[in-house]
Amino acid sequence: MFASENENRIFAGWITVEARDSQGELLPLTTILDNMPFYMDTLQAPINLNHSNWTVGRLLDYEQRFNDEAQAPGLFGRGTIFEGYPLHDDVWDAIQDGRLNQLSLAGQFEMNENGVAEWSGPMEISVTGPAVDSKAVNEACNITNVSKAKSKAFKKMFGRVVA
């Protein structure tokens, strides 16, 4: 079952910021913006868990904004987490308590000689953070707003206790 905006499992945060990431790579915002219509319309805007094949939500909308922390333009978006499976509730709980606190954009990009990405295939957006022993390579891509909707209190994620 897909969550709707009326179910209030909504979060917002920075999808990407045009700044060199911890791997020294730069994803130009124009490259991302050129591909967002395909991501939103054709791929139906999935949000995965930590770059896995576990789709846990979808991106509702996005806009270009200036990120004060990175002092660079970025892409800010709102997403929703699905309901219907224990994993969805685990992810929602982890977003609410900060164990999943970042967004991470990845895809098939080829780096030119200057370390600037050029799009060459599909891209994805994931939630990530301490709950999955990971963090976004772009430090400014934090989840900044979370609705207060509650979910069932499941105590395991991926077969291990995360409470």
Confidence of residue 3 (pLDDT cuts 50, 70, 90): very low
Beta bridge partners of 46: 58
pLDDT per residue as tens digits for the range 13-41: 999 998 877 777 777 888 889 888 988 99
Q: Give phi and psi for 49, each to the nearest 5.
A: -95, 115
Q: Closest Cα to residue 131, out of 95, 81, 88?
A: 95
Number of domains in the chain: 1
pLDDT at 155 over 60: no
Which CA distances in Å does 115 have to 21, 29, 106? 11, 14, 15
Query: Structure tokens of 99?
Result: 């164990």
Q: The domain containing residue 35 runs over which residues?
A: 5-161
Each residue of 90-138: pLDDT tens digit?
A: 999 999 999 999 998 877 777 777 767 676 667 788 888 887 777 667 7
- Where do we find the tokens 């333009």? 73
How many other CB atoms sit within 10 Å of the CB of residue 64? 14
The predicted-structure confidence for 44-79, as pLDDT tens digits, reads as follows 899 999 988 899 999 999 999 999 988 999 999 999
Q: What is the largest CA-CA distance in the chain?
A: 49
Percent of the chain at pLDDT above 90? 34
The residues that bridge with 48 in the sheet, in sequence order, are 55, 126
Which of 80, 92, 86, 105 is CA-nearest to residue 14? 105
Please list, in sequence order, all residues whose beta carbon lies within 8 angstroms of the beta carbon of residue 156, skipping any fewer than 6 positions away. 86, 90, 162
Model pTM score:
0.79
Tokens of residue 11, six digits? 């979060």
